[in-house]
Structure 1
């Protein structure tokens, strides 16, 4: 098995999926706050942290690893790229996913002619071009973008940087192919197929997964719980930890 995860707490199982280049440690503050009510499984996605790399790294390949690692029904929370993986998992194996929470995620991360609430395609190209020359500097710049616009940007960026290598360096090929996932993913045509409790948590200052993406998701899934954290950028679970946990626990308790 190539998927590594830490488990914190006791109760119903919740699987937490991180974003590009990070690892499961980003969720630790949330997991510790929820440990009295839930068993939180903090996953290192393949090629990240302590999980073995798989080739090629695709959304379908990641889902295959997760469905083998967690065969029993679980609640799934996905942040950013992890949200795309979580969505694909729920679409492929609905019997395994009890509820789906998407945090600062998007059905389509790169701008297209018919889709503007996303990153410019050129931004992703630049990150891909810079990875080979200075991957650590590239990740630091990406972290800066994740916190841009938040009043707590410096503190959140510092936390993310500290978490970045706690489980070891990410696999370079996984980083490149992870950017390909961000560039190519487009799940818009399938969002209406989701038939499960859905929570959307977004920040109104997010430049990577803009609020418009969350509003679009909420329009496609009118029964979804949609929460906007005012003043949050791409990492509301750190910048607005207490509010985030209250929302997440309330949602899971109602499932």
Structure 2
């Protein structure tokens, strides 16, 4: 679980309900300052939320980008069935992204973190026309590492017999907060409460379905490489979900820009937000200069 710096939107960032042809989604938005250069749509990862990008809005707005981060269907504050996995099939989630892009106004720079990157890829493969570019943050070419597959299976098994509150307590008991990837907490009591509230907002069916997807995702890099869309592979300098050599190789296969944010791990967007925002804006600015 990513640990946002805060769950409280900073000045210039406001919460909204994004109404689309496929339902309503919770979102955070910031308007571009000065000359507008483009619109960005952020998709969070497994057990994550729109708040995982909360520290990117201000620097990107200052660089002329309107930014919108969403909770996907069944994530945090976006509604979704809690006992039916059907709406969380990857194709359905990809169609949600196309509807979100249409609702905020295309063309869009699409950014997906981890699971969100694989959903973003699926959306682009369904219909690339709404998108100016695709950035994959810590999101690999196929299934997650064996160690993370084991963790995902453990979570799926727990959700089959326990409710969300019980699973949360079990995760906290199993590992020190600073060491766990699925339940890590900041030191403040407010952080603990916010992370628990976010966890409880997730649909169990969504977690089960998307966790299974992470463990079985096929390699679709060749399909994506065939699209004439600028691509960017960004990560930290450590990652136990997709090892860096896999991400490096994927970037080569995609002919994509490759950025490594030093001093960060699986979530450079929360670990090093200023550096991540700068890397994203540099990529998008370069696209604009070419045209």
Q: How would you bin the TM-score normalised by the shorter chain?
A: 0.7 to 0.9
1:75 to 89, 109, 119: 109
* In structure 2, C-alpha distance between the alignment counterparts of 1:58 and 1:77, rounded to whole Å: 20
* In structure 1, C-alpha distance between the alignment counterparts of 2:116 and 2:189, rounded to whole Å: 21
In the alignment of these two chains, the number of paired residues is: 244
Question: In the TM superposition, what are the counterparts of 1:40-79 in structure 2 within 5 Å?
Answer: 40-53=67-80, 55-56=85-86, 57-71=88-102, 72-79=106-113
* In structure 2, C-alpha distance between the alignment counterparts of 1:214 and 1:33, rounded to whole Å: 26
Change (3 A) 1:88 1:9: same
* In structure 2, C-alpha distance between the alignment counterparts of 1:106 and 1:159, rounded to whole Å: 32
Name the residue aligned to 1:99: 133
Name the residue aligned to 2:49: 23
Change (3 A) 1:51 1:82: same
The answer as to whether partners of 1:76 and 1:99 remain within 8 angstroms in 2 is: yes
Change (3 A) 1:163 1:122: closer
Report the secondary structure of 2:24's partner residue: coil
Change (3 A) 1:157 1:106: farther
Name the residue aligned to 1:115: none
The answer as to whether partners of 2:111 and 2:120 remain within 8 angstroms in 1 is: yes
Deviates more, 1:195-204 or 1:123-132: 123-132
Larger radius of gyration: 2
Name the TM-score, length of structure 1 as normaliser.
0.84
The answer as to whether partners of 1:156 and 1:239 remain within 8 angstroms in 2 is: no
Report the secondary structure of 1:249's partner residue: helix
Change (3 A) 1:184 1:167: closer
Name the residue aligned to 1:2: 24
Change (3 A) 1:231 1:98: same
Q: Deviations over 1:40-99 (max 9, x none)?
A: 111100001221215410111011112123222211000000000111111111101110
Report the secondary structure of 2:139's partner residue: coil
1:206 to 229, 235, 239: 239
1:159 CA drift (Å): 9.8
Name the residue aligned to 2:3: none
1:119 CA drift (Å): 4.4
1:39 CA drift (Å): 1.0
Name the residue aligned to 1:150: none
* In structure 2, C-alpha distance between the alignment counterparts of 1:182 and 1:208, rounded to whole Å: 10
**1:165 equivalenced with 2:193 (yes/no):** no
The answer as to whether partners of 2:31 and 2:67 remain within 8 angstroms in 1 is: yes
Name the residue aligned to 1:114: none
**1:248 equivalenced with 2:280 (yes/no):** yes
1:248 CA drift (Å): 0.8
* In structure 1, C-alpha distance between the alignment counterparts of 2:80 and 2:96, rounded to whole Å: 11
Gaps of 5+ in 2: 1-22
- Alignment RMSD: 2.9
Gaps of 5+ in 1: 112-117, 148-152
Q: Deviations over 1:102-156 (max 9, x none)?
A: 1000121334xxxxxx645323212222334333246666984549xxxxx9769
* In structure 1, C-alpha distance between the alignment counterparts of 2:190 and 2:242, rounded to whole Å: 20
Q: Deviations over 1:159-204 (max 9, x none)?
A: 9864563596111111111211211212335232232111111122
* In structure 2, C-alpha distance between the alignment counterparts of 1:167 and 1:40, rounded to whole Å: 24
1:195 to 228, 246, 259: 228
The answer as to whether partners of 1:19 and 1:81 remain within 8 angstroms in 2 is: yes
